[in-house]
Amino acid sequence: MNVRAQMSMVFHLDKCIGCHTCSLACKNIWTDRPGTEYMWWNNVETKPGTGYPTRYEDQEQYRGGWELKQGTLKLRLGSRPSELVNISFNPRLPTLDDYYEPWTYRYGDLINAPQGDDQPVARPVSMITGRDMEIEAGPNWDDDLSGSEIYAANDPNLQKLSEEERRDFFGLQQLVFFYLPRICNHCLNPSCVAACPSGAIYKRGEDGIVLVSQEKCQGWRMCVSGCPYKKVYFNWSTGKAEKCILCYPRLESGQAPACFHTCPGRIRYLGMVLYDADRIHAAASRPDAELVEAQRELLLDPHDPEVLREARAAGIDDKVLEACQHSPVYQYVKVWKLALPLHPEWRTLPMLFYVPPLLPVLATMSNNSYELSSDFFPSLESIRIPMSFLASMFTAGDEETIVKVYRKLMAGRLCLRAETVGDVPPEQVARALADAETTHEELQAIYRLTALATAEERYVIPTFLREEAIEATGDPQLFQEAAGAGFLRWPERGL
Amino acid sequence: MLIPNIDIFWFVALPYLDLALAIGGGIYRYYRHRFTYSSLSSQLLENRKLFWGSVSWHYGITLILLAHLLAALFPGAAAWALGGPIRLMVLEFTGMALALYALVGLLILIGRRWRTFSLPRATTSYMDGFLLFFLLLQVVTGLGLSLFNRWGSLWYLKTAVPWFWSLARLHPDASTVAFLPGFVQVHFVVGFIVILLFPFSRLVHLVKFPLPYLWRPYQVVMWHRPRPAAGTNRSRA
Ligand code: SF4
C-alpha cells in the first residue's frame, strides 16, 4: 500500500443556481492578466449544452484523456513518438474560435465623442489585437438555452439517447436543464501530466494539486489537448499553459478556494481523502461500467487503523489524517455513494465529484392557472432528465449506478417531506427507503450535510501552512531549504 | 594564398565571436531568464495557415539542416554517398525539393504574421521579424546556389567542410571559402548570423526538443520535502 492524501471536491448540482459568482471570483483573482482573458478556470455551463470550449466532451475530435486498447491504458492523443512528430503543430488543439475572442469596449468614446445628432456608443474592441470586432461568441453564450437547436441539441451526451427520449427531452412542456460548474479535477491519473512532453506539469505529493511549472513549460500545448475536460489553457501572451491551481496559496493559509468561498448556493464541499497510489493504474484500467466503483474502492477508510498506520509510515501528518476523517467528500463519495465523477470513461480518475440534480418539479398551465404537477415525487420512469443522459455524463453510460443514486436522493426527499409536512403515506416512505437500500439515519445525515452544514463542515482544510506543516513533522532547520520561495521574476517574455 | 582582412573578419572572427555569443548567451539566458526559454506559439490564435506553414517549414528545414550537419561530421561517408551520378542527382533533387518545401512553409509563416491586426501579429516581436528575414535570406540563397552553382553537395565537402574543421581544430583556415562567389559567401555569413540570433530569439526552443519524453514515466509527482518512505524529495509514480 502506498497511501497518499488528495484534496478533493464535491459539487451538489441540486443547489447550483447558475449565478456564476464562482467564475467571477476566480477571474478576478487569477485570470485578469493579458493572455488569460479568455480563460475560465472555473466555468458554469448549462446542460444540455455544448459547454466551454464548444463540444469539449467530443473526444473523437479532441482526443483527450485515456482509452483502453486491448486491455492497456493508452493516451488518446497518441503514442509518445507521435506526439514528438506533431510537436510543431498540434492537430488536436482547440483554437480561439472554440472558446471566444475576448473583448472590451471603447468606453472613452462615450465621454469624448464630439457633439452630434446620435448618442455615442462604446464599440467592442478585441483584447488581443485592439481592433474593432464583431462579437460572435462569449463566455456562457449558451447560458440557459435549453432546447435550442444550436446549443442544447449539440450536446455530445445526447448521442446516447433514443429518438423518443430526445423528443421528450426537447418538448416545450418538458424543457429542463441544470447547471454544471467545472474546475480542474486534480485527477489521480491526469492525462495532461502524461501528455506534457517537457514534464512541466506535476502533481503535488502532499495534497495532489496539479500544477504547471511556468519555467519548465515550453508551450508545446499537448496538455491542452490531453486534458479531456479542457481545463488546461494556453496563455497566448506568455506562451505557457495555465490551469486552476485550486487556490493553493489560499489553502495553505487555511482558506477555501475563491470559487468555494464565494458560492452563494453553498454547493461546494472540500475535503481530503486517502487513496492507494499503487492501485491507480489498475483502477483506471477497469471496464467502463466498473469505473465509478473502482474509484470508490481506491479511496481508503480514514478510520481503519491499518490505513492510518500505513499513512503515518508514508509521512502523512496527523493533522491531515484528522481532516480526512472529517472529510465531507469521503461521506458523499464513499459512504453515501451519492457523488459521481464527471465522465469517468475518460479514465483520468477525476477527484471532483458531482451529486446529480434531483428532478425538478413539473408545472403545467391548466384552466388559466399555473399548477404544480400533482406528481410531486415523480417515479424514476417518469422523470424529465433521461437517465441515459445522466449516465452518459456521470457513470460512463452505466444506468444502474445512476439509478441507485436517484433512488437515494428521492428517498431523502420523501422522508423529509413526511417528517416536515406529513402528507406522504408511511408505506410510501418505507418502500422508498427499501428501494434505495438506505436508512432514516443515513438520510438525516445526508440532509444535514446537504442543507444545514456550516462553512467549517463544508470546507475541511488541514493546516497546509508551510512553516507549520514542517514544524509538525520535524526539525524546521532541517527543512529550511525544502520550502521554496517560488517564482519571483516578472513573467515577461521580452524577445 | 593571401586572404584579405575583410574575409578574415567574415570567415574567422565572425564564426568564433558568434559561437561564443550563442553558447555563452544561451547559457546565460537559460539560467537567468528560463521563463522565456521557449518559442511563443500562436496556434491558439490561428490554426489553419499555421498547419501548412509550420509543418512544411519544420520538416523541410530540419532535414536540410541534418544533411548539412551529417555531411560536415562525416565527409568521407558523404563523399561515398554522393559518389555516382544517379545517387548525386537523387540526393541533390531531394535537397532542392526539401528546400522548396521549407521555403513555401516559411513564406506562409511570414504571411500569417504580416497583416496588421491579424491575431498572430499581436504576439509578434521585432526579433521575430528579424529572425524571419534572415531565415528567408538563408533559404533563398541556399536554394539559389544549389540551382546555379552545381553541384553544391560536392563542393560543400571540399570548401565549407574543411573550413568548419579548421575552425573546430582552432587552426582557422578560410582559404577554401574566401574565393567562392559572393552569393555563396552570403549564404555562409547569414548562416552564422542566424546562429548569432539563437540566444536572442525564439530559436532557443531548438535545444529544448523534449526527447526525454520518450522514456520518462507518464506521471510526475513532486514533494515539498523528503518523504520518509521514498527518501528523496522527488519521486515519480
Ligand atoms: S457553483 Fe455556486 S457560485 Fe457557481 S454558479 Fe453555482 S451557485 Fe453560483
User: How does pLDDT run across B153-181, given as a tens digit for each residue?
Assistant: 889 999 999 999 999 999 998 888 888 88
For residue A410, give the nearest of A448, A372, A371, A437 by alpha carbon. Answer: A437
- Ordered structural domains, chain A, with CATH: 1-93+151-487 (3.30.70.20)
C-alpha span between A313 and A343 (Å, rounded):
34
Evaluate if residue B1 carries a pLDDT over 60: no
Evaluate if residue A397 carries a pLDDT over 70: yes
Return the ligand 1 atom nearest residue A17 CA.
7
Q: Which uninterrupted H or E stretch holds A11?
A: strand A3-12
For residue A456, give the nearest of A260, A166, A226 by alpha carbon. Answer: A260
Say what the pLDDT of residue A485 is: 46
C-alpha span between A235 and A229 (Å, rounded):
17
Say what the pLDDT of residue A484 is: 47
Per the model's pLDDT, the better-predicted residue between A421 and A446 turns out to be: A446
- Are A495 and B210 within 8 A, CB to CB? no
Pick the residue of B31, B34, B37, B38 with the most A CBs within 10 A to test the interface with A by mutation.
B38
- Are A93 and B44 within 8 A, CB to CB? yes
Q: Is B235 on the interface with A (CB under 8 A)?
A: yes
Cα–chain-centroid distance for residue A233? 15
Arithmetic mean of pLDDT over chain B: 89
Question: Does residue B26 sit within a domain?
Answer: no
B65: CATH:
1.20.950.20
CA of A179 to the centre of ligand 1 (A): 9
Contact A332, A448 (CB under 8 A): no
Per the model's pLDDT, the better-predicted residue between A383 and A212 turns out to be: A212
Q: Which uninterrupted H or E stretch holds B99?
A: helix B85-114
Question: Does residue B154 sit within a domain?
Answer: yes
Contact A332, A14 (CB under 8 A): no
C-alpha span between A336 and A338 (Å, rounded):
5
C-alpha span between B52 and B111 (Å, rounded):
12
Buried b (16+ CB within 10 A) or exposed e, A297-307: bbbbebeeeeb
- Are B229 and A313 within 8 A, CB to CB? yes
Evaluate if residue B237 carries a pLDDT over 50: no
Say what the pLDDT of residue A341 is: 98
pLDDT digits (tens, 9 = 90+) for A190-217: 999 999 999 999 999 889 999 999 989 9
Question: Does residue B215 sit within a domain?
Answer: no
Give the single-character DSSP code of A461: -
Contact A241, A223 (CB under 8 A): yes
- Are B43 and A221 within 8 A, CB to CB? yes
Ligand 1 surroundings by CB, under 6 angstroms = A 16-22, 44, 179, 181, 263-265, 267
Contact pairs from chain A to chain B, CB under 8 Å = 161
| A chain contacts of residue B223, beta-carbon cutoff 8 Å | 204-206
Contact A405, A356 (CB under 8 A): yes
- Are A220 and B210 within 8 A, CB to CB? yes
pLDDT digits (tens, 9 = 90+) for B88-145: 999 999 999 999 999 999 999 999 999 877 889 989 999 999 999 999 999 999 999 9
Cα–chain-centroid distance for residue A409? 20
Q: For the purposes of burial, counting CB atoms within 10 Å of the CB of A255, is it exposed (0-12), middle (13-18) or buried (19 or more)?
A: middle
CA of A374 to the centre of ligand 1 (A): 30
- Are A482 and B224 within 8 A, CB to CB? yes
Which residue in A130, A479, A489 is closest to B225 by CB distance?
A: A479
CA of A261 to the centre of ligand 1 (A): 10
Question: Does residue B156 sit within a domain?
Answer: yes
| Min distance A238 CA to chain B CA atoms (Å) | 7
Q: Is B17 on the interface with A (CB under 8 A)?
A: no
Which residues share a beta bridge with A204?
B222
Question: Does residue B60 sit within a domain?
Answer: yes
Contact A382, A375 (CB under 8 A): yes
Distances (CA, A) of A338 to A13, A108, A129, A138, A188: 11, 52, 47, 34, 20
3-state secondary structure of A132: strand
| B chain contacts of residue A487, beta-carbon cutoff 8 Å | 35
Question: Does residue B236 sit within a domain?
Answer: no
pLDDT band at B199 (very low <50, low <70, confident <90, very high): very high
The Cα diameter of chain A in Å comes to 81
| B chain contacts of residue A95, beta-carbon cutoff 8 Å | 43-47
Evaluate if residue A152 carries a pLDDT over 90: no
Q: How many domains does chain B have?
A: 1
What phi and psi, each to the nearest 5 degrees, are found at residue A369? -130, 155
Question: Does residue B137 sit within a domain?
Answer: yes
- Are B218 and A194 within 8 A, CB to CB? yes
pLDDT band at A469 (very low <50, low <70, confident <90, very high): low
Mutate to test the pocket of ligand 1, among A10, A47, A183, A267 (most ligand atoms within 8 A of CB): A267
| Min distance B230 CA to chain A CA atoms (Å) | 8
Say what the pLDDT of residue B234 is: 39
- Are A96 and B119 within 8 A, CB to CB? yes
What pairing do the DSSP bridges indicate for beta strands A340-341 and A268-276?
unpaired
Phi-psi group of A254: left, alpha or beta (phi > 0 → left; psi -120 to 50 → alpha; rest → beta): left
For residue A236, say if its preceding peptide bond is cis, omega within 30 degrees of 0. Answer: no
| Min distance B3 CA to chain A CA atoms (Å) | 37
For residue A45, give the nearest of A23, A72, A73, A65 by alpha carbon. Answer: A23
Return the ligand 1 atom nearest residue A20 CA.
5
pLDDT digits (tens, 9 = 90+) for A89-120: 999 999 999 999 999 999 999 999 898 999 99
Residue B103's domain comprises: 46-210
* A274 half-sphere exposure, CB direction, 13 A CA radius: 29
Q: Which three cell numbers stand for residue A163?
A: 429518438
Return the ligand 1 atom nearest residue A259 CA.
3
For residue A336, say if its preceding peptide bond is cis, omega within 30 degrees of 0. Answer: no
Residue of A nearest to B51 (CA): A89
Cα–chain-centroid distance for residue A415? 29
For residue A53, say if its preceding peptide bond is cis, omega within 30 degrees of 0. Answer: yes
CA of A180 to the centre of ligand 1 (A): 9
Question: Does residue B17 sit within a domain?
Answer: no
- Are B219 and A189 within 8 A, CB to CB? yes
Which residue in A75, A128, A482 is closest to B122 by CB distance?
A: A128
